[in-house]
Each structure stands twice: as C-alpha cells, then as structure tokens.
C-alpha cells in the first residue's frame, strides 16, 4: 500500500461507550492482518493537554516516550497495538486553537479574518494528516465526545471535509452508538441510534459502519432495522457486547466480521488475521487458578480510571504468574494508625501510586511503615517511592523531621526537593541544577535512561543494566542524604547515567522479601503480551507471600 487510509471513529447517544477500546480493537485486528496501524485521539476540550486536569474529571494522564501528557485512551492504543504513541497521536481543541492563534499573531493569515471554517478545520485536518506516512497503512482517528456536543463540531466538520479530499476507498466512518435493551418489553431499541445518526447526517457525515454497544448481541431483525433507517449496508451493522475481559473485544469484532467489512470498503489486501496471541491471552486469563489481593493506597480511588494503566499492568503481572489480581483501593486520607491493621491485614502486596500534593500523604506513610515492618511485598511508584524514602529516613535513619519540600518547604531535612532538569533527547545531554530560583520547566516528562546497579534486585528483575522509563514528576531525591540512608540499609539501585538523579531504591532481600520504589511510571510500558518486569516480579512476590 502506498497511501495511508483513514478510519474515523465517532460516538453517539452518551459518553463512556468505549470508543477508545473499539478503535484499539479494530487497530489490533488490522495489525494482525499484517498492516501497519496507528491511532490518534482528538479531544474537544479546550485544555491544551490533560496535564493540569483533576484525575476525578478525566481519569489518568497517560505519558508517552516523547513527554506528551495525553488522554488515557492512548494507553489502550499502546496496549492493543504494542507500539509506542507520541505527541502526534493526541490533539485537543485547546492545542488546535493555540496553534491557530499563534499563526494569527505571526501574521500567517495575511491579515484575513480568522474563523472556525476554514482556519480551525484546516488546522485539525493538518493534525490528522500528519499521521500519514509511506510506512503506515491505516490510521484510525477517534473523535472524542458525543455527536451533538457543540465542542465536537469543528472536528466533525474537519473529518467531513477530509473524506472528500482523500478520495474513494481511502477513508470511512465508524459510528459507535448505544442500543439499549428493555427487559420489560424484552427487546432492543434502535431509536437512540437513529437519532444519533440523524445528528451526524445533519452535518454531512454518513456512517459507513455502525457498531451497536449492547449487553446482548443484536438480533438480525434489529440490525436490518438499523441498516434501513440509518442508510448503511445490512452487513455493516455490528454488535459490541459487554465482556468480562476487555482483551476479548478484538476477537468479538473479528467474529462479527468488522475487519472484513473495513477491508472491502477500503480495498485493503485480502489476508486472514493471525489472532492466535489474542486467543491465547484470553484463554490464559480465563484459566487462572490462584489469586492475590493488592492494596492500592491512593487519593483518587473513587474513580478507578485515575489508575487505569496501573490496574492493567497489575493484571498483566497476574497473567504471567497464573493468578487473578484482586484490587483493594484504599483512600489514603482515611488511613489512620488505629485502623491500619484492619485495612491492610490479609493483603498480599501494597502499592502506592504516583500523585501530587500533600493530601493523603500521612496515610501513605503509614502504609509504607506497615509494609516494611510486617514484610509485605511493597511497590512505590513516583510519589510512592518518595514516601518510601521519607518513611525510611524518619523511622530507620533517625531523621524524624524528614519530609518533601513539596509538602513542607521549611522542613529542616528535605529528603525530597525541587530540582530543574533539562534533557535534550537528540543529543542525550542532561543538565541538572538547583531550581529554587526558577520554577519553570521543572517537570520531568517522558522517557529517560536509568542505569541499574549490578547485583541489585532491580538489575535482576530487568535482566539488563540500562533501561528507559517514562517520568511525570517535579521533585527528586536529595543526594546529600544518600550516604546516611545507605548506611542504615536503603539500597539506591537505579540512577540517571550521570549519577545525579536517583531512579530506584530497594531493601536487600535478607531484610525484606520485596520492597522496591521507582521514580518513574512503569505502568505506562506494560502490555498484555509483554508484562512489565517490575509488575511481573511484584506479583510473583505477592503470590509467594500469599502462600506463606
């Protein structure tokens, strides 16, 4: 194939139907047919990126290798396709408008009036077409939001224009919509789908494929009715049934014939997909015998989407160890010393994820103490690692006032403090300096190298000396306390290549069965077919602990 073909995925009736999973699953099937596939998410909100958004509103912020803070759907894309995403794979309305205004300020519109059409829609089209490459066969583009939302209109107008510009057989529209089942009358109702498609057609978009989100497979008569009233082929209406295991979705779509219809409409090469890895994955997940329970001590636990990649990475670790992972989400604000035993007794592992701010930190520190003293497998990620170091400094090294500068700027022992890091990905040069006089540009984002100490648990887990992991944080370990903590038994097992930044810490196996912290976010690089080494080994340790 010499030209990238585009599949535009929209959603109707209501949000959270699973457009991201649907797009990722379609991409996975097409990739299994031997095609080179990528996916892009277009978000209609006006934030430039989700980096400053509260996780309660938008779920986790997914970080890519190139340092982009993106929508959590990019995590689905990476896990299903097994290929890294980047800044090019996520555009928001805020980013688009920002680029348009910047051009206007530079005079690039030659003094003309700047309008949604054509300037904004042209910018959206340019963002979409930036995916096109001789090395890419198919690009899926998911338009966020729900058809009918005012925010989505410029994006829908842009993909309407693109279909005509791309020419025949080079693009198609997939519309995901809700088809509810009324138990009182015992029938599926197609009217919400009809109204959603009517909204789309009102702005000039005629879906080529309709996927009905449903609890039970759509019967043939409902498919015929949807095809008739929505003006699509009868063989272009498919079911997207709720499944227990999200990794079943590519198999279900294949059974429905979704990829075959797409291949016909886009004139893709005729080739049967190799779905053996997906079938094996589902078979393994359905045949798990044992189980472990992991306590996740965080402050966004009311919305599980806040820890979506973490949840998946732990499940991946369970798959490779043959156990089902049960999750106990604990609000760190509610953890107090008196109730600690009640909440954490019986846990096979304790994990403290990343986060920002002081809220809930006292509960996290109590959880670290419990895990260390009772020798429960413990995993600290980002802020979790920082809590691990602070707790060790206070309880073991005798620095009772040790704290993070983030939580107490005036504390006498700033175990964790603010640094500013500039990193040139092209040259590989990294500069680190104190940043008290300059708070700008201090966030460390994206993939950074980490050198593992020979003989450490971390080096044993990875099986290599140099790794690359993704970061999203501002505060670092204060190296002037390294010797003092080392003398009391804390092992510093991972560093930036220049030795300036601490990336991993641990306790020796003779002191604790598994007590590891990392400054980076390994959950962003865990795939179902390739579980991340740290999660694989953490669940192994939890499994052994569970067996007593």
Q: In the listed set 281, 298, 328, which residue is the last one of a domain according to the structure?
A: 281
Q: Give the CATH number of the domain where residue 541 resides.
A: 3.40.50.880
Is 521 among the catalytic positions?
yes
Same domain, 436 and 537: yes
Is 234 among the catalytic positions?
no
Instruction: Please check whether residue 9 lies inside any domain of the structure.
Output: yes
The beta strand positions in 281-333, using DSSP E, are 290-298, 323-331
Same domain, 344 and 261: no
Is 450 among the catalytic positions?
no
The C-alpha atoms of residue 54 and residue 9 are separated, in whole angstroms, by 26
Instruction: Please check whether residue 100 lies inside any domain of the structure.
Output: no
Token pair 């699953």 in the structure block, residue: 25
pTM of the model: 0.91
Q: What is the pLDDT of residue 438?
A: 40
Q: Give the CATH number of the domain where residue 234 resides.
A: 3.40.50.300
Of the candidates 538, 525, 427, the residue with the CA atom closest to the CA atom of residue 467: 525
Residue 8, SS3 per DSSP? strand
Same domain, 80 and 206: yes
Catalytic residue from among 60, 142, 469, 523: 523
Same domain, 248 and 310: no
Q: What is the pLDDT of residue 253?
A: 97
Same domain, 392 and 268: no
Catalytic residue from among 230, 382, 387, 518: 382
How many structural domains is the chain composed of? 2
Any residues with CB less than 8 A from the CB of 245 and at least 6 apart, and which? 282, 285, 286
Q: What is the pLDDT of residue 2?
A: 58
The C-alpha atoms of residue 65 and residue 227 are separated, in whole angstroms, by 42
Same domain, 265 and 292: no
> Mean pLDDT by 10-residue block, N- to C-terminus, for the chain (548 residues)?
88 88 96 96 92 75 94 93 94 96 93 93 97 95 93 96 95 96 86 95 96 93 96 96 92 96 95 94 93 92 80 96 95 82 91 86 94 97 96 95 92 86 43 44 85 97 97 93 95 94 95 96 96 98 89
Q: What is the pLDDT of residue 43?
A: 94
Same domain, 536 and 421: yes
Instruction: Please check whether residue 65 lies inside any domain of the structure.
Output: yes
Q: In the listed set 281, 310, 333, which residue is the last one of a domain according to the structure?
A: 281
Q: What is the pLDDT of residue 427?
A: 45
DSSP per-residue letters across 391-432: HHHHHTSS-TTEEETTT-TT-SEEEEEEEEEEE-TTT--EEE
Domain extent, residue 504, equals: 288-546
Instruction: Please check whether residue 411 lies inside any domain of the structure.
Output: yes
Same domain, 347 and 456: yes
Q: What is the pLDDT of residue 303?
A: 66
Beta pairing partners, 329 = 296
Q: What is the pLDDT of residue 450?
A: 97
The C-alpha atoms of residue 258 and residue 236 are separated, in whole angstroms, by 8
Phi then psi for residue 14, to 5 deg, are -155, 165
Q: In the listed set 281, 302, 317, which residue is the last one of a domain according to the structure?
A: 281
The C-alpha atoms of residue 130 and residue 229 are separated, in whole angstroms, by 35
Token pair 């994990």 in the structure block, residue: 351
Same domain, 479 and 391: yes
The C-alpha atoms of residue 389 and residue 386 are separated, in whole angstroms, by 5
Instruction: Please check whether residue 522 lies inside any domain of the structure.
Output: yes
């Amino acid at each position: 194939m010499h030209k990238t073909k585009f599949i535009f995925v929209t959603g109707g009736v209501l949000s959270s139907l699973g457009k991201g999973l649907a797009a990722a699953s379609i991409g996975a099937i097409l990739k299994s047919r031997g095609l080179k596939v990528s996916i892009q998410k277009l978000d209609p909100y006006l934030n430039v990126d989700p980096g400053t958004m509260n996780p309660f509103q938008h779920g986790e912020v997914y970080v890519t290798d190139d340092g982009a803070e993106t929508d959590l759907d990019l995590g689905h894309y990476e896990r299903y396709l097994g290929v890294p995403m980047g800044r090019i794979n996520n555009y928001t309305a805020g980013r688009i408008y920002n680029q348009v205004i910047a051009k206007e300020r530079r005079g690039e519109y030659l003094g003309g009036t700047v309008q949604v059409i054509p300037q904004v829609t042209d910018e959206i089209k340019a963002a979409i077409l930036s995916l096109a490459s001789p090395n890419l066969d198919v690009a899926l583009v998911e338009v966020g939001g729900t058809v009918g939302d005012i925010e989505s209109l410029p994006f829908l107008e842009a993909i309407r224009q693109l279909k005509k510009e791309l020419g025949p057989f080079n693009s198609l529209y997939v519309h995901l919509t809700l088809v509810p089942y009324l138990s009182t009358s015992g029938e599926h109702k197609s009217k919400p789908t009809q109204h959603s498609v009517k909204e789309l057609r009102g702005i000039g978009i005629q879906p080529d494929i309709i996927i009905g989100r449903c609890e039970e497979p759509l019967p043939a008569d409902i498919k015929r009715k949807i095809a008739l009233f929505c003006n699509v082929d009868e063989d272009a209406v498919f079911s997207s049934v709720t499944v227990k295991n999200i990794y079943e979705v590519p198999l279900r779509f294949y059974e429905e014939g979704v990829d075959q219809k797409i291949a016909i409409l886009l004139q893709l090469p005729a080739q049967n997909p190799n779905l053996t890895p997906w079938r094996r994955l589902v078979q393994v997940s359905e045949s798990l015998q044992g189980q472990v329970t992991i306590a996740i001590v965080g402050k966004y636990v009311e919305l599980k989407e806040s820890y979506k990649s973490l949840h998946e990475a732990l499940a991946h670790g369970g798959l490779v160890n043959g156990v089902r992972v049960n999750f106990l989400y604990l609000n760190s604000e509610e953890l107090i010393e008196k109730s600690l035993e009640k909440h954490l007794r019986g846990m096979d592992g304790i994990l403290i994820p990343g986060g920002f701010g002081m809220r809930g930190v006292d509960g996290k520190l109590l959880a670290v103490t419990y895990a260390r003293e009772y020798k429960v497998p413990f995993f600290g990620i980002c802020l979790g690692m920082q809590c691990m170091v602070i707790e060790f400094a206070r309880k073991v090294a005798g620095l009772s006032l040790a704290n993070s500068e983030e939580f107490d700027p005036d504390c006498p022992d700033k175990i964790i403090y603010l640094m500013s890091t500039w990193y040139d990905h092209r040259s590989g040069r990294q500069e680190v300096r104190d940043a008290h006089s300059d708070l700008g540009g201090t966030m460390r984002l994206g993939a950074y190298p980490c050198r593992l100490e020979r003989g450490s648990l971390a080096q044993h887990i990875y099986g290599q000396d140099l790794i690359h992991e993704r970061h999203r944080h501002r505060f670092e370990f204060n190296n002037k306390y390294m010797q003092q903590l080392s003398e009391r038994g804390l092992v510093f097992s991972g560093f930036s290549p220049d030795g300036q930044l601490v990336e991993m810490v641990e306790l020796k196996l003779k002191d604790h069965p598994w007590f590891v912290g990392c400054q980076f976010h390994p959950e962003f690089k865990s795939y179902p077919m390739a579980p991340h080494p740290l999660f694989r080994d953490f669940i192994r340790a939890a499994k052994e602990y569970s067996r007593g």
